[in-house]
């Protein structure tokens, strides 16, 4: 999963850099180069030992998508030095981007997850199947649950600077979920054998939230 392949730094600070020639890295640009003897599995990385350059900061949330049988931990990631969103380094985590808003803050909370990893279905492997009315729940460590209802499911071209709009602040409290989609295009020159043509975007609006659990219940739970 390469998220959106254009730099976000200029876009988020209001400069014009996002409208000039965009940097279009692939996911492979975000991790150290694997050994040359490593083979690809349908263009996806096999078990590659490497140092994780991003500190694993566990966000106080889990993401639950009942229609997809997803119950996954949420980690906090940001942008690298080139202004490109970092991505989870396994197939099971969901990333919340710290350049976006937190759930419940009244704007756009942006999340990303892999469609597949090491030849297996990733946490967002069936994201394209979500329908209007499906729910996305974010469960905080204090027991609060934020429930969002899907209102959009569409695709964007990750090389198009206009695709960055899905990460922009919004007037309503929504979540934006991102993964790869479209067609897998093999390319032997890329470390993982190719890339997907599109990114699948699901957006959902907050419909309810619960109060935090009492301190005694949180301690027991």
CATH of the domain at 79: 2.40.260.10
Q: Which of 126, 107, 6, 3 is nearest to 68 (CA)?
A: 126
Percent of the chain with pLDDT over 90: 44
- Give the distance from CA 218 to its chain's centroid: 28
Q: Where are the beta strands (DSSP E) in 66-173?
A: 70-77, 94-97, 108-112, 116-117, 120-121, 135-140, 145-156
User: Which region among 31-35, 104-108, 140-144, 145-149 has the lowest average model confidence (pLDDT)?
Assistant: 31-35
pLDDT of residue 148: 97
Residue 33 CA to residue 205 CA, distance in Å, equals: 39
pLDDT tens profile 180-217: 998 888 888 865 577 788 999 999 999 998 877 665 55
| Range of 32-46, 160-174, 200-214 with top mean pLDDT | 160-174
Total number of domains constituting the chain:
1
- Beta carbons of 125 and 115 less than 8 angstroms apart: yes
pLDDT of residue 53: 42
Place of tokens 């739970």: 221
Long-range contacts of 53-62 (CB under 8 A, 24+ apart): 54/86, 54/89, 59/96, 60/140, 60/141, 60/142, 61/96, 61/103, 61/138, 61/139, 61/140, 61/141, 62/138, 62/139
Judge whether 2 lies within some domain: no
pLDDT of residue 216: 54
For residues 22 and 8, the model is more confident at 8
For residues 127 and 48, the model is more confident at 127
Pairing of strands 70-77, 94-97: parallel
Residue 181 CA to residue 171 CA, distance in Å, equals: 27
pLDDT tens profile 57-114: 445 689 999 999 999 999 999 988 878 888 888 999 999 999 999 888 899 999 999 9
> What's the mean pLDDT when you consider all of the chain?
76
What is the pLDDT averaged over residues 121-135? 96
Judge whether 1 lies within some domain: no
Judge whether 163 lies within some domain: yes
Judge whether 29 lies within some domain: yes
- Torsions phi, psi for 215 (to 5 deg): -55, -40
Strand, coil or helix: 122? coil
Domain holding 120, by residue range, is 9-220
pLDDT of residue 12: 59
Q: How confident is the model at residue 123 (pLDDT cuts 50, 70, 90)?
A: very high
Judge whether 3 lies within some domain: no
> Rounded to the nearest 10 degrees, how much is the dihedral formed by the CA atoms of 24, 127, 10, 18?
50
Radius of gyration of the chain from its Cα atoms, rounded to whole angstroms: 17
């Amino acid at each position: 999963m390469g998220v959106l392949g254009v730099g976000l730094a200029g876009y988020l600070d209001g400069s014009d850099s996002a409208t000039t020639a965009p940097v279009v890295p692939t996911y492979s640009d975000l991790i150290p180069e694997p050994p040359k003897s490593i083979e690809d599995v349908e263009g996806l990385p096999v078990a590659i030992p490497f140092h994780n350059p991003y500190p694993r900061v566990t966000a106080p949330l889990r993401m639950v998508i009942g229609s997809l049988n997803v119950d996954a931990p949420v980690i906090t990631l940001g942008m690298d030095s080139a202004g490109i969103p970092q991505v989870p380094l396994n197939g099971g985590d969901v990333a919340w981007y710290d350049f976006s808003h937190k759930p419940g803050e009244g704007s756009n909370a942006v999340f990303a997850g892999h469609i597949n990893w090491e030849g297996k279905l990733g946490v967002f492997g069936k994201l394209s199947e979500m329908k209007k009315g499906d729910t996305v729940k974010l469960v905080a460590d204090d027991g609060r649950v934020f429930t969002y209802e899907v209102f959009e499911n569409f695709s964007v071209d990750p090389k198009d600077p206009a695709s960055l709009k899905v990460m922009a602040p919004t007037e309503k409290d929504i979540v934006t979920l991102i993964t790869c989609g479209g067609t897998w295009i093999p390319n032997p020159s890329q470390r993982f054998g190719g890339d997907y043509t599109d990114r699948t975007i699901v957006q959902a609006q907050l419909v309810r939230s619960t109060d935090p659990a009492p301190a005694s219940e949180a301690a027991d739970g």
